[in-house]
Chain A
Amino acid sequence: MKSSNESVRVIRKKRHLGKSLLIGAVMGWFLILILLPLYGIIKEAFQNGFQLLISSLTTPESRHSFLLTLWITAVTIITNTFFGVVLAVVLVKQRFRGKLLFEGLVDLPFAVSPVVAGFMFIILFGPRGWIGSWFEASGIKIVYAFPGMLIATLFVTLPFVAREVIPVLREFGLQQEEAAFVLGASKWQTFWRVTLPSIKWGLAYGVTLTIARSIGEFGAVLVISGSIIRKTQTATLHIHQEFTDFNYVGAFSAAIILALASFFILTLMQRIYKRKEI
């Protein structure tokens, strides 16, 4: 069917001006809202020279905080990749009572304020909490220490892997799995040889989102860590510390490093997303 008849063409011409205006408005909005702040921070950080930027990044406090962020991110990736896949498999393949509620609970960390999340964990894992008091008796500190910060990060990143793997598993995994199963493969063989390869791009995307969020998490970790310098201070907490101490160069330069990391992650996300689509 020919879609463009006379009247359509006339209105299209009238629309041309509207189209340019709309594109201009959207690009302007995007430029001012999203891109201009990036320029702002680069300008501020380099204003006092490259030397100062480097020296503020290589202070022991700064190095310690970036290292801690790396550690927490590494452990988070391993833990939540494992549990994310388990959750996805259970939610796609199994039927049980209360499954809808369970599925809703998996999404909850996206909706909860990070400060409230940190606070919940203080109450539960603090020295007087239901679980915390038990650990305290065995001499293990959770709140204001590494385990608490890890728990907070695990919470805020929990849905990413599961959410990305579930749709892929629904679409591809099952038929091929059934085939493998019928052909006599064991459950483990089926998982490693059939399921995992078919979900790998969805999984990779979920892991990338997990990395981005673990590096960037602030509120939940701030509340539960107590932000103790050179002890429980991650990169984002370090930025906060520098900012509240009016050491703007330190804050800006550390922020630039994290912004660079986000660009790298974003590029990775785009690459994986394209693969996922195929």
Chain B
Amino acid sequence: MSRNPLAKISGTSSDLLLRSLSFFYIGILIVLPIIAISSEAFKGGLNNLWTNITSSQALYSLKLTFITALLMVILNVIMGTATAWVLVRYNFPLKNLMNALIDLPFAIPTIVTGIMLVALYGPKSFIGGFFNRQGIEIIFAKPGIILALLYVSFPFVVRAVQPVLHEMEKDMEEAAITLGAGPFAVFRRVVLPTLLPAILTGAALSFSRAIGEFGSIAIVSGNIPFKTQVASVYIYGEIESYNPQGALGLSVVLLFFSFLILILLNRLQTWNRRHEEF
């Protein structure tokens, strides 16, 4: 990698001005708020914070958040990889339109997602009514939460895997086939190892989005404590009922996981780059 020659002169006043501006902006929008919420959370002592986090309602919402997020990630990894595969390797009618619409969940406001799902699967709708008669609840129940999470994070895995699949040479696969490997073995031994960093990146992004997701779930889940209340909705409820202490506990937990996932994504990125260099 060549060093950037312009970097040598980064001591001039305009450079300093730009750097101060960025530090100021990040400082006031990101660093200070995090310090403020952390200091507020730890002010009452660790014991107090721990009690807030482990109160039965908070703990339930946290568990529900992680379980639904995990289920969503498993489905999203399978279907996202399949979607990327189909879009890169095969030709079929309406392929271009589908490729263009993959990003739709990123463009649609999350609350609109929630409203759409209620309109389609709500107890009074055609499909929701049908399921209701079979005794299956979708909206205001756990399946609705997973459905909402699947919707909002659908593009992550597809868009992470697609470019890697594009770059991947078919030579290796065909060599493996020639050497007698079946399609399953080819996928497991040749394709999967190459795609793995990208799949994990998509999975981590989906998971991160899922544990923080609020808008669509607030609409779809019905927010019933000990049944459909996830962590973000629990935090919102505590803020609304003027109980900031209760909100602080889970906020700190979610922030901790945000940091953790960012670090993980950073590692994955370097791993990805190393793959590309081969």
Interface residues of A (CB under 8 A from B): 3-5, 7-8, 11, 14-15, 18-19, 22-23, 25-27, 29-30, 33-41, 43-45, 83, 86-87, 89-96, 102, 104-117, 119-124, 129-131, 151, 154-155, 158, 174, 177-178, 181, 187, 209, 212, 215-219, 222-223, 236, 239-240, 243, 251-252, 255, 258-259, 262-263, 265-266, 269-270
Residue of B at shortest CB range from A259? B112
| Contact of A35 (CB < 8 Å), options: B85, B101, B255 | B101
* Pairwise interchain contact A120-B33, C-beta atoms closer than 8 A: yes
Are A41 and B37 interface neighbours, CB within 8 A?
A: no
**Chain A nearest CB: distance from B52 CB in Å?**
14
CA distance A4 to B61 in the complex (A): 54
Contacts of B95-132 to chain A: CB distance below 8 A = 98, 100-101, 103-113, 115-121, 125
Question: A123, B40: Cβ atoms under 8 Å?
Answer: yes
B111 touches A218 (CB 8 A): yes
Give Cα A217 to B214, complex, Å: 10
Question: B109 to A262, Cβ gap below 8 A?
Answer: yes
Partner of A239, one of B33, B111, B212, B235: B111
Cα-based distance from A218 to B233 in the complex (angstroms)? 13
What separation, in Å, do the CA atoms of A113 and B231 have in the docked complex? 10
B14 closest partner in A (C-beta): A187
Task: Report if A123-B33 is in contact (Cβ < 8 Å); known contacts: A111-B258, A174-B4, A255-B116.
Answer: yes
**Which chain A residue shows the least CB distance to B128?**
A40
Q: Is B178 an interface residue (CB 8 A)?
A: yes
**Interface status of B232 (Cβ within 8 A of chain A):** yes
User: In the bound complex, do residue B214 and residue A115 qualify as a contact, i.e. CB atoms below 8 Å apart?
Assistant: yes
**Contact of A116 with B109 at beta-carbon distance under 8 Å, contacts A37-B116, A86-B21, A218-B215 already known:** no
A and B contact pairs by CB, cutoff 8 A, 12 listed: A33-B151, A41-B119, A43-B119, A93-B10, A108-B30, A111-B262, A113-B235, A174-B4, A178-B5, A222-B236, A258-B108, A266-B104
Report yes or no: B115 in contact with A41, Cβ–Cβ below 8 A.
yes
Max chain B C-beta neighbours (<10 A), residue from A45, A96, A124, A215: A124
Report the nearest B residue to A237, measured CB to CB.
B111
Contact residue among A3, A27, A44, A90 (Cβ-Cβ distance under 8 Å from B170): A3
CB atoms of B219 and A258 under 8 A apart: no
Q: Are B117 and A37 in contact, with the CB atoms below 8 A? A: yes
Rounded to whole Å, the gap between the CB of B217 and the closest CB of chain A is 10
Query: Which chain B residue has the least Cβ–Cβ distance from A1?
Result: B171
Asked whether, in the complex, the Cβ of A22 is within 8 Å of the Cβ of B85, the reply is yes
Given contacts A41-B116, A107-B262, A158-B30, contact A216 B212 (CB under 8 A): no
